[in-house]
Amino acid sequence: MSGFWGKGIGSSCVQALLKYIQSNTEVELVTAHVIPENIASARCLLKNGFEYLLTKPEDWGCGQSCIADVYTFDNDAAVAKPQSENPCERRMQEHGKNDDLH
């Protein structure tokens, strides 16, 4: 699968999903939950307009709790929200991978 990484496929999927939601539903808020170590997925969400909300324990049905970063996309946001501290950016800086996220 790594041969497909970094080709924009995830971003294209997120964009298509958001376009569909905006055009065909009345959904106002979209959430995405990402394992904190999955920096590429968090970065994809940020590049496509999601904002970091919080980090929390979750049960994904695998028999044990795990930690997840929660991101939101607000379809109805008329004004830009203030940016909260983003753990993805912090982790990327710690690992020397601080590319432009926005």
Mind listing the pLDDT tens digit for each residue in 39-66? 999 999 999 999 999 999 998 888 888 9
Q: How confident is the model at residue 2 (pLDDT cuts 50, 70, 90)?
A: confident
100 in a structural domain: no
Q: How many domains does the chain have?
A: 1
Structural domain containing residue 63: 2-94
* Mean pLDDT (the chain, rounded): 81
CATH number of the structural domain spanning residue 33: 3.40.630.30
This model's pTM is above 0.75: no
DSSP labels for the chain? -GGGTTSSHHHHHHHHHHHHHHHH----EEEEEE-TT-HHHHHHHHHTT-EEEEEEEEE-SSSSEEEEEEEEEETT--SPPPPPP-HHHHHHHHTT------
17 in a structural domain: yes
Which carries the bigger pLDDT value, residue 86 or residue 32? Answer: 32
